[in-house]
């Protein structure tokens, strides 16, 4: 397996997906670049030429990062809002 399969849902962005699946939104470029690799494109059937344009229902692959524990949240689960700290 090349990584975790993820189906894009309404409201998703590469930043949000990276934040929820890789632990940091700044890792969005890793997802974008990975999904443009020939072996990943063969698996998903689609490149991501413009990182600002991903589509509901589109399957992407989340690369596995060494040392990062895989998310306990099932693939395709919508991101949960962060709770605000109460003073």
Q: What is the pLDDT of residues 29-51, one digit of tens each?
A: 999 999 999 999 999 999 999 99
pLDDT, tens digit, for every residue of 4-28?
A: 999 999 999 999 999 999 999 999 9
**What are the distances in angstroms from CA 69 to CA 4, 7, 31?**
12, 20, 16
pLDDT at res. 83: 38
pTM of the model: 0.73
Is the pLDDT at 53 greater than 70? The verdict is: yes
For residue 22, give the 3-state DSSP assignment: helix
């Amino acid at each position: 397996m090349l990584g975790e399969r993820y189906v894009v849902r309404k409201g998703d962005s590469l930043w949000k997906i990276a934040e929820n699946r890789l632990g940091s939104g700044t890792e969005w470029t890793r997802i974008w670049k990975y999904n443009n690799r020939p072996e990943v494109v063969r698996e998903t059937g689609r490149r991501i030429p413009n990182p600002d344009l991903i589509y509901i229902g589109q399957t992407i692959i989340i690369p596995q990062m060494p040392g990062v524990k895989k998310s306990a949240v099932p693939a395709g689960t919508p991101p949960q809002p962060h709770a605000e700290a109460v003073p």
